[in-house]
């Protein structure tokens, strides 16, 4: 199937995101309450994770194994990442929009975060881990990277208890659109 990358990016730039339903039908979704990961001092993480970070058990890479990160994110009992959406992520990766932010333990992929970069916005699509703390370390290191690169927005789409532990917070659609528009005016690069 052919996909129009420009149309897909335009959808994300308007605040929509792609998800598959229970029958693997792909559609555009939006939310009245968007979840953001703070890129300032409000970002936090559990003290137990500080020890893990200090032990330097993991190394970080970007796009070292993009397809394995997508597969890891999709490998759940209930997933919104259908085979068709995996194809779209691959095309977005090939055109420079999709990224995998990864943690490694030696030569084993420990965890990762899948996201789309448009301007100064990092739109987090999903995360996973194979080794405990792999995705948590990826989150901390990704936030550090986004700060260094002066990103405006880290969109996590929907709240869950895991994200709350990192200081994630909700904003209205109006607030989100204002931040997204500001982010789209920026030219930030993950790598």
The whole-angstrom separation of Cα 102 and Cα 137 is 9
**Best CATH choice for the domain 5-184 from the list 3.50.50.60, 3.40.630.70, 3.40.605.10, 3.40.1010.10:** 3.40.630.70
Spatial separation of the C-alpha atoms in residues 58 and 64, rounded to whole Å: 14
The number of CA neighbours under 13 Å toward the Cβ of 44 is: 7
Report the 10 Å Cβ neighbour count for 56: 8
Residue written as token pair 């959406």: 85
Which one, of 92, 136, 95, 131, lies nearest residue 113 by Cα?
136
Residue 189: per-residue pLDDT: 95
Strand 26-29 with 98-105, pairing: unpaired
**CA 120 to the chain's CA centroid:** 13
Per-residue pLDDT for the chain (191 aa), expressed as one digit of tens each?
678 999 999 999 999 999 999 888 999 999 889 999 999 999 999 889 999 999 999 999 999 999 999 999 999 988 899 999 999 999 999 999 999 999 999 999 999 999 999 999 999 999 999 999 999 999 999 999 999 999 999 999 989 888 999 999 999 999 999 999 999 999 999 99
Q: Residue 178's closest CA among 1, 35, 53, 15?
A: 15
pLDDT of residue 13: 97
At 60, phi and psi to the nearest 5?
-110, 145
């Amino acid at each position: 199937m052919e996909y129009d990358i420009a149309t897909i990016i335009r959808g994300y730039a308007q605040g929509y995101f792609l998800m598959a339903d229970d029958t693997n039908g792909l559609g555009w979704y939006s939310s009245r309450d968007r979840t953001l990961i703070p890129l300032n001092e409000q970002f936090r993480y559990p003290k137990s994770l500080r020890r893990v970070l200090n032990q330097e058990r993991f190394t970080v890479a970007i796009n070292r194994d993009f397809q394995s990160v997508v597969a890891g994110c999709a490998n759940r009992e209930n997933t919104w990442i259908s085979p068709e959406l995996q194809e779209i992520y691959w095309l977005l990766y090939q055109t420079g929009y999709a990224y995998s932010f990864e943690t490694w333990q030696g030569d084993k992929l420990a965890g990762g975060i899948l996201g789309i970069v448009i301007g100064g916005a990092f739109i987090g699509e999903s995360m996973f881990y194979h080794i405990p703390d792999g995705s948590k370390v990826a989150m901390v290191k990704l936030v550090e990277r986004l700060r260094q690169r002066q990103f405006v927005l880290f969109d996590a789409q929907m709240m869950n208890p895991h994200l709350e532990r990192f200081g994630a917070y909700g904003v209205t659609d109006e607030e989100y659109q204002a931040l997204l528009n500001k982010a789209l005016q920026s030219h930030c690069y993950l790598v």
